[in-house]
Chains A and B, each alone.
Chain A
Amino acid sequence: MTAFSDQSDSDLLRRAADGEEDGFCALYRRHQASIYRFALQMTGSTSQAEDVTQEVFMALIRDPVSFDPGRGTLRAFLLGIARNQVLRRFGKDRYYVPIDEEAEMRPANEEGPLDQVSRDELIESVRRAILSLPERYREAVILCDLQELSYAEAAVVLSCAVGTVRSRLHRGRAMLVEKLQPAHHSDPERGMRSARCFA
């Protein structure tokens, strides 16, 4: 297996296309986490993220030669498939942020209990803020800031120009800043509203 870790994506893809299971497994191990996290960040659902990840690699199994190295990296190609799968699911069910999955998404850390609670709250607020963004801005923020793709790679995933990625990211971040300001930090479902003090 270590031999496969040194090989490029194109070599592994060629092996997979030739029916070598080890080549496909190496590709899966290399990219599954990225695809899964992208789908999870976009949908907020672990089950949806699993389904999207499965569909992405099923597409790779069905047609391994559809990837064109001249158009970008394999990671960008797979993220593009994942994005299409996510958008397809958005058309079916647009509102799913299951509460019972929040604990699974919380990272384990070794801080004190209070620090961990505040940290988890902060992460949760950011996650919810991202999920509340319009899709076009959400995917730009996730790809560039969470997946740490370059503008060019994100442009391949989103099938748009680099300038479009930059503008969407700029707008998405501005919206996030606004959402994450202290006045908006409280849960809107509680019905708390800021009130002007006339005293």
Chain B
Amino acid sequence: MNCERFAGLVTDLSRHGIMDARVREEALAHANECGHCGPRLHGELALTAKLRLLADGMNQLQASKELGERLRVEFRSRTFINSRRKVGRFRPWTTAAAAAALIALGIVLASWRVAPVIEEGNHSSDTTRSVAASLSEEPLPEGPVETVVEEREIEATAILPARQPARKRGGKRSLVVETRPDSDDFDYSEIEIATDFLPVNYGGPMNLQDGGQIVRVELPRAALLNFGLPVNMARVDERVKADVIVGADGLARAIRFVQ
């Protein structure tokens, strides 16, 4: 080992740092032989001892207790402020998420109400239009559903025994949703099977945003033919029940047949 290499090791050597045992022995041997590196190593060892003495002398020193108390008070106040901020903090992403959820809910509800009618939008025929036209030659007047139906030229009879009456919402007629009666004496043998609503297209695109109502009517069974439905000719003289969606403008928009 030469003096240059020893100079690079003397710090770790004097600080008793981790180093290879063989290198340490070589360095110590060089220090014993070299008149320059020996005193240097002794000087470094003496410095290490003095630094340890200083470190030990300051070992008991620490910050005052008053500082600890000040920091404790500060921590409490900061925690209180942070908790208040958390309560009153405006979170844009939360508001946006809530708004998006409301919009999605609205879309789902709207589609749930309209979807049965729209799905059958292309199933109409010319004969359907003629029947629908006969159903809606006159605008439906305001008032009870039974009155409206009695004025039809087809002499349809409105029968709404198990349905709630048309409800007013915001001054406009709203779509009557089929509901079950709450009374316990409801006869479940009268549960009805209905076709999907078949659109009556002469009125343009289905739009029930302004409200509407469902009117139960009875039609000649032959009317099924007008909508492309099969008819048992042996019972062609019988009447068949149907629900007609009437828009707020009084025009029939769709029809479904009930059994």
Contact = CB atoms under 8 A, between A and B. Distances in A.
A76 to B, nearest CB: 18
B55 interface: yes
Contacts of A119: 53
Contacts of A113: none
A173 B53 contact: no
B76 interface: yes
Contacts of B8: 170
Contacts, number: 106
Nearest to B42: A177
Contacts of A54: 63, 67, 70-71
Contact of B71 (A36, A37, A58): A58
A43 B68 CA distance: 21
Prevailing SS type, chain B contact patch: helix
A90 interface: no
Interface string B20-51: 00000000000000000000100110111011
Given A33-B63, A37-B61, A50-B67, A177 B47 contact: yes
A146 B71 contact: no
A122 B50 contact: yes
A19 B61 CA distance: 29
Interface stretch (A21-29, A67-75, A92-100, A152-160): A21-29
Interface string B102-127: 00000000000000000000000000
11 contacts: A24-B75, A32-B62, A32-B68, A36-B61, A37-B62, A57-B71, A58-B71, A61-B71, A145-B48, A170-B11, A173-B44
Instruction: Please list the 5 inter-chain residue pairs (A to B) with the smallest Cβ-Cβ separation, ordered nearest first.
Output: A107-B57, A33-B62, A19-B79, A36-B63, A145-B51
Interface of A: 16, 19, 21, 24-25, 28-29, 32-33, 35-37, 40-41, 49-50, 53-54, 57-58, 61-62, 105-108, 119, 122-123, 126-127, 130, 141, 144-146, 148, 166, 169-170, 173, 176-177, 180-181
